[in-house]
């Protein structure tokens, strides 16, 4: 398996532009997580999905952020409009969940490094 | 807010020595996991310990869990230069299905 695939790996954009980050989870996994990592705030959970359904989006910073998972093999995180403070590395991770518990490890993608000028 | 806080924030040891990192958390958990992150890369899972377990081993790694103190420790024995990385604990919260929260991390440097 190729692992969790994220794109783009690097994105530089100007303030006000729309940014779309993409994630392909590992086939067969039914939980997907979006995290944001910065030096100041560490790793923050933004949103997670179980069986393509958003379960908790309380970590999404503002209405400018939205996430979708239209099917089991694809998710997007969109920022519109982007701001310089959104600059961070955004990670997607997937895992297998049975019942109420994630049964094992999270598999992370390599991240999307976003710079908003 | 972060569920886990790691201690120390940074640790520098000589190659061959043992490294111990600690993690404290606030609420009840289903399990606790440790991850490693090399600079510029994604996180890699190291070990998972369930809430009903007290100790677990994997190669040079030893993890302990004390649910009464809401704390865990990660011991890396006989450290190597390749162990230089940041280490994070992650808690699967009991009250929220599959909500996995990461701590602030420990930066480990191994001196040759």
Q: Is the pLDDT of residue A102 over 80?
A: no
Q: Where are the beta strands (DSSP E) in B1-112?
A: 4-7, 10-14, 19-25, 29-37, 43-50, 55-58, 61-66, 71-76, 85-93, 100-102, 106-111
CA gap A18, A81 in Å, rounded: 5
Q: Tell if the CB–CB gap between A109 and B33 is shorter than 8 Å.
A: no
Interface check for A105 against chain B (CB to CB < 8 A): the answer is yes
Exposure letters B95-106 (e unless 16+ CB within 10 A, then b):
ebbbbbbbbbbb
Q: How far is CA A28 from CA A93, A112, B53, in A?
A: 13, 23, 27
The CB density around residue B10, as the number of other CB atoms within 10 Å, is 10
- Say yes or no for a CB contact (<8 Å) between A106 and B100: yes
Shortest CA distance from A5: residue in chain B? B42
CB-based contact B42 A108, cutoff 8 Å: yes
- What digits encode the pLDDT tens for the residues A64-82? 999 999 999 999 999 999 9
Q: Check residue A76 and give left, alpha or beta (phi > 0: left; psi -120 to 50: alpha).
A: beta
Residue range A40-67: average pLDDT?
92
Instruction: Report the mean per-residue pLDDT for chain A.
Output: 93
Q: Which of B60, B63, B102 is nearest to B83 (CA)?
A: B60
The pLDDT score that the predictor gives to residue A98 is 72
Between B6 and A17, the more confident residue is A17
Name the residue facing B92 among A101, A110, A111 (closest C-beta).
Answer: A101
User: Which residues of chain B have a pLDDT value below 50?
Assistant: 1-2
Residues A14 and A111: their CA atoms lie apart, in Å, by: 20
Quick check: B100 and A102 CB within 8 A?
yes
Q: Is the pLDDT at A92 greater than 80, yes or no?
A: yes
Confidence tier at A44 by pLDDT (50, 70, 90): very high
Q: A40, A58, A105, A111: best mutation site toward chain B, by most B Cβ within 10 Å? A: A105
Q: What is the pLDDT of residue B1?
A: 43
A55 interfaces chain B, CB cutoff of 8 Å: yes
């Amino acid at each position: 398996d190729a692992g969790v695939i994220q794109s783009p790996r690097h994105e530089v954009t100007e303030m006000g532009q729309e940014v779309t980050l993409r994630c392909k989870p590992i086939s067969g996994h039914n939980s997907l997580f979006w995290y944001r990592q910065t030096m100041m705030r560490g790793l923050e959970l933004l949103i997670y999905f179980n069986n393509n359904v958003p379960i908790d989006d309380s970590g999404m910073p503002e209405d400018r952020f939205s996430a979708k998972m239209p099917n089991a093999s694809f998710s997007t995180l969109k920022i519109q409009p982007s701001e310089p403070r959104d600059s961070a590395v955004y990670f997607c991770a997937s895992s297998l969940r049975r019942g109420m518990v994630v049964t094992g490890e999270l598999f992370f993608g390599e991240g999307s490094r976003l710079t908003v000028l | 807010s972060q569920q886990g806080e790691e201690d120390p924030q940074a640790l520098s040891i000589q190659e061959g020595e043992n490294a111990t990192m600690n993690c404290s958390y606030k609420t009840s958990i289903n399990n606790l996991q440790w991850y490693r992150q090399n600079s510029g890369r994604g996180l890699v899972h190291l070990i998972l310990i369930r809430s009903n377990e007290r100790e677990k081993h994997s190669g040079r790694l030893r993890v302990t869990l004390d649910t009464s103190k809401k704390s865990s420790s990660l011991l890396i024995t006989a450290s190597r230069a390749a162990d230089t990385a940041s280490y994070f604990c992650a808690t699967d919260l009991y009250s929220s299905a599959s909500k996995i929260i990461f701590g602030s991390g420990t930066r480990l440097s191994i001196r040759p």
